A and B are shown apart, each in its own frame.
Chain A
Amino acid sequence: MNDKLYKVLLFIVALIMPIVCGGVVYALVTDAYDAFEHFGFFRFLTSSEWSYTEGAEQYGALPFITGTLMTTLLALVFCIPFSLPVALFVGEYFRDSRIAAVLSTVVDLLAGIPSIIYGLWGFYTLRPIIMALNISPQGSGILTASLVLAIMIIPYASSLSAEFIKMVPNDLKEGAYSLGATRLEVVRNVVFPVAGSGIFSSYVLAIGRALGETMTVTMLIGNTNDMPNSITATGNSMASIIANQFGEADGLRLSSLIAIGLILFLITAIINMVGKIMIKRARIA
């Protein structure tokens, strides 16, 4: 009897999560409906106009989709040269050594820092440096946001990559060594090909994290609603435009913001799903 009760309880609790998730999707879709109906789904996605003029309101998501993609991809580019060496250091070269344990703990610590702290650091430290280097006159912009985002996603990419690098069978590596391969050749020809899809999936998950980052980006991206025309330009990401404007928005504008939220939700869900599938495949292989 007790066991049965427990089972039922477990079932109910487990059921709540999908219901909550479904509820979120339902609420997003119903509230975003107005915007899609008014502007048309594809026009909403491809219009770069974001104009509040009363009576002639025009809301399009393209500048923000672009802003999100630019910050995320740049962050990824900046993150790889740091996260990959850290993963190799921890997972291969100094595997199971004390220094590797210290390094991986420190890097993992980065993941625990609240995003507002990254934002403050970016605002008060990085921004003046960008201005002093004359990279951009106003300091804030897509580049600044990407640099800080890159630091934020390093732990996500490196710790999972290290796990996959550790999982490469010793037999394979020893085989390569016995053929006279150097360490670098082993890494290049054995470790990377074997752990490749796992490493790739860890970056996919890191992207998922960068896509939705709000606070840091809002503080650093400059918050303008035009299409960014260079990487140093100011812009807005999907998350930051919502954070900036939901407080005052109503009617069509609120619906448009929620529509952007829905699109962001879908993109993040797809990216995460791809990452999960790839991890599964990598583990089986």
Chain B
Amino acid sequence: MKKILLSMMTLVVAMVIASCGGSSKNEGREAQELSGAGATFPLPFYNVVFEKFSEVNGDVVAYGGIGSGGGVRNLRDKIVDFAGSDAFLSDKEMCEMAEVVHVPTCMGAVVLAYNLEGVENLRLSGEVIAQIFAGDITMWNDERLVALNPGVTLPAEMIMPVFRSDGSGTTFVFTDYLTKVSKMWAEKYGRGKSVDFAVGQAAKGNPGVAGVIKQTKNAIGYVGSEYAFAQKIAYASIKNKQGEFVKPTAESISVAASGDMPADTRCSITNSDAEGAYPISTFTWMVIYKEQNYSGRSKEQAIATLDLLKYVLSDEAQVLTTEVHYAPLPAKAKELSMNNLKSVTYDGEVIGE
């Protein structure tokens, strides 16, 4: 009994010390509980970063992976401190709510994962991907696929396309790319978080799609890169604008962002011009209100939110990206975001400096 009591006491003491240690680093303000919700695409990265942030700063961050759209809705309802989204807010969405600030947090890619026995390096082009998902190409040994894959024996089997059943930023990035490279796709389907796919089956969430592909022979589907990497599913090289076949890697994803960037960081980097760029790359964003005094939030909470964003942009956090299969932000994106954060206010008073 005494032993148990003693160990409990030490535990309590340890916890007190730990919490003191945390709060001492955030310049005297009390540790805050931050909540965010949104995209599942960067979830593995956020899990790591938020934990590190808690260690360093003492603030606790709870993030619900409920999908980009859900996150934005929660922000609009003013029940979260920040939203995670793979698609930047459209002008229409921006009009419907108070002024927001977009902060890109990392880069990722949408990969074409497939399950084909004996085919290690499938090569695809945007046009062919569009035709597969539109149901124009139905067989793996279709001549258009064979032409892209000289020397590879493709089976005479039906292609089983897999797509997302729930609305998703991943679908947005994927269809954004197809819309840019295929006129047929742009006219018939367009881009969006939910698209009326004509063929195939659907599964919920990135893990769901990855699971179905892994379990289904002759399947092909699009998933966030980290899910394909983590589950060790084969994925295709995609032909980029320069005509090179590129695999998604931290480098080829980062290269895709080397072009110009608008001041508010809202830009699509699919089908990038750059040499060596993986064509279905994307930023993922955190979105916060410019005016942080809403729903009775305290100033300390607003400052903690900014601290979190600054931490995510810091080198310390950005080096973590590659560990969990994302790519770090280019310097320009960090610079612009730091600048944007400076304009954040609480009750009209600038707190971002």
Residues of chain A whose beta carbon lies under 8 Å from any beta carbon of chain B? 50-54, 123-124, 127-128, 131, 137-141, 218, 222-225, 234, 236, 243-245, 247-250
Contacts and interface: CB of A to CB of B under 8 A. Distances in A.
Contacts of B73: 250
Given A131-B216, A140-B201, A223-B165, A248 B70 contact: yes
A60 B103 CA distance: 38
Contact of B165 (A52, A127, A137, A244): A244
A137 to B, nearest CB: 6
B190 interface: yes
Given A123-B215, A222-B202, A247-B70, 11 more contacts: A52-B196, A53-B192, A53-B196, A131-B216, A137-B218, A223-B202, A224-B200, A243-B204, A244-B204, A245-B165, A248-B68
A55 B202 CA distance: 24
B67 interface: yes
Given A54-B192, A248-B193, A137 B204 contact: no
Interface string B183-222: 0000000101111110011111000000110011111000
A225 B215 contact: no
A123 B70 CA distance: 27
B167 interface: yes
B270 interface: no
A247 B196 CA distance: 17
B215 A128 contact: yes
> What is the predominant secondary structure among interface residues of chain A facing chain B?
loop
Nearest to B65: A247
A54 B196 CA distance: 12
B272 to A, nearest CB: 26
Nearest to A250: B73
Nearest to A137: B158
Nearest to A240: B165
B29 to A, nearest CB: 34
A99 B201 CA distance: 44
Contacts of B212: 140
Contacts of A222: 201-202
B192 A52 contact: yes
A6 B46 CA distance: 53
A141 B200 CA distance: 11
B166 interface: yes
Contacts of B165: 218, 223-224, 236, 244-245
A223 B168 CA distance: 15
A153 to B, nearest CB: 23
Contacts of B194: 52, 245, 248
Contacts of B67: 247-248
A127 B160 CA distance: 14
15 contacts: A52-B192, A53-B196, A123-B215, A128-B215, A131-B216, A137-B160, A138-B160, A223-B202, A224-B201, A225-B196, A234-B201, A245-B167, A248-B70, A248-B167, A248-B193
